[in-house]
Structure 1
Amino acid sequence: MDISTQFSGATASQGAAGAARARMVSSDFETFLRMLTTQMQNQDPLNPMEASDFAVQLATFSGVEQSVRTNQLLEEMMGRSAMSELAGLVGKTVRSAGPAYFNGDSLGLSLPAMPDADSARLVVRDNLGGIVDTVDVPTSGGAVEWRGLGADGLPLPSGTYRFEMLGYAAGVLADTGTVEAYGEVIEARNDGGITTVVLSGGRAVPLDEVSAVRGPVLR
């Protein structure tokens, strides 16, 4: 996977925006000069404007123009820095709620705490919604590793699985909780201003929905 195309696209978009702003500044400056020329042509010949007044107007507009160009440069620099940091996520694993891709290895999960339950169970469903495994887990929640074994103890095939935690009190369902899973980042991109990471298996997750990041996957 080559993420450089995404970075080039984002940089090109930023460059286009910068060029548009530069054209706007140039157009404004030309308009200012036309207005200044008209002002000079129509001034009272018996009470003409002092040369120093013209100089002040020119200096003022020049200062505004320089500020706009400086802000433009800072925005471009910040954009390049943000994309560089985003590229550093590729190859790492991130944690988020939702379905997770199982590739045959154990899968890291984060379980919610259920203080009102006296027992809890992790329910695993395949991509069609069928239950393929149930595991008794602590009500305190925390990190666990799902080994990818079915109810019969045999390894499950690679694919996308969904996880849910059920809490029971005196044998009655008392609570349900969202389970977060780790997935490897294979791509990072900017979709219309929304930063998104794509995980193995193809699932796209907005960066603001990522709750944790781990180091690169060891192979």
Structure 2
Amino acid sequence: MVTSVSNTSGTNTSGTSSTPSTTGGLATTYETFLGLLTAQIKNQDPLSPMDSTQWTNQLVQYTSVEQQLKANEYLKSLVGLGAGNMANSVNMIGKTAVADIDTQTFKDQPLTWHYDLANSASQVAVEVLDADGKTVWKGTSDQLKKGDNSFTWDGKDSTGATVKEGNYTLKVTATGANGTAISNAVSVQQRVDATELINGEIVLRMGYSLIPMSYVTGVRETADA
């Protein structure tokens, strides 16, 4: 899948190489037309004016061409941007990405989330919610320090039964010694196994989860196991 995306990107790049000459030619023609039209209007015989219908239609046609030129330039910039982003995502493979997202896909392996505490907490309550927002497991975490902490869920519900495959979200509620709430941010920090292009959006395969590249806030080398 990654290879085919790379090949497609290469094809797009070579396919646009001839566009500037065509675009430049059309732009020059449009400017020439406007110059000639302006000169004709200025020099026309007041007693025998030009037929406005003809040059108005031509003006409309060339205006449409100008708009198409601008649209083509915009599309070219988007294609270039997309190709650059895909190249960047491929460079992430094998590295650990930090994604600002609290949802992962469970199949048959435990899931690990990270949560960043604004201050040290006296208690951290955690809940795991299914795709419908229903709590399937809740408990506490013993990691209370300010900064980055992690929590691993074994994929079992409150009765000890393994949950079905699907997306699950971690909710963290941290409180201080005086009972005040402590803000936190949940993230997924995991090795990138592959990149894919789905519905025009670049996503990273991290474990069983497909996480949009737009959620990534950092990348680092993966530590040796």
State the TM-score, normalizing by the size of structure 1: 0.58
Match of residue 100 from structure 1: 104
SS of 1:127's partner is coil
Residue 79 (structure 1) shift: 8.8
| 1:20 has 2:27 as partner | no
2:114·2:150 contact (CA, 8 Å) conserved in 1?
yes
State how far apart, in whole Å, the 1-side matches of 2:119 and 2:26 are. 65
State how far apart, in whole Å, the 1-side matches of 2:165 and 2:221 are. 22
Q: 1:142 to 1:82 in 2, by over 3 A?
A: closer
Aligned-residue RMSD, C-alpha: 4.1
1:107-132 C-alpha deviation (Å, 9 max, x unpaired): 23211124164211222111111112
1:107·1:146 contact (CA, 8 Å) conserved in 2?
yes
Match of residue 7 from structure 1: 6
After superposition, where does 1:173-192 map in structure 2 within 5 Å? Answer: 174-182=181-189, 184-189=192-197
| 1:142 has 2:141 as partner | no
State the TM-score, normalizing by the size of structure 2: 0.57
2:195·2:202 contact (CA, 8 Å) conserved in 1?
no
After superposition, where does 1:61-76 map in structure 2 within 5 Å? Answer: none
Match of residue 33 from structure 2: none
After superposition, where does 1:185-204 map in structure 2 within 5 Å? Answer: 185-189=193-197, 195-199=202-206, 201=208, 203-204=210-211
Number of aligned residues: 176
Counterpart residue type for residue 114 of structure 2: S
Residue 201 (structure 1) shift: 4.8
Q: Which runs of 5+ in 1 are unaligned?
A: 31-75
After superposition, where does 1:99-118 map in structure 2 within 5 Å? Answer: 99-115=103-119, 117-118=121-122
SS of 2:7's partner is helix
Match of residue 132 from structure 2: 128
Residue 85 (structure 1) shift: 5.3
Q: 1:111 to 1:139 in 2, by over 3 A?
A: same
State how far apart, in whole Å, the 1-side matches of 2:128 and 2:83 are. 41
Counterpart residue type for residue 138 of structure 1: Q
2:122·2:177 contact (CA, 8 Å) conserved in 1?
yes
State how far apart, in whole Å, the 2-side matches of 1:164 and 1:117 are. 16
| 1:158 has 2:165 as partner | yes
State how far apart, in whole Å, the 2-side matches of 1:182 and 1:105 are. 15
Q: Which runs of 5+ in 2 are unaligned?
A: 30-79
Match of residue 92 from structure 2: 89
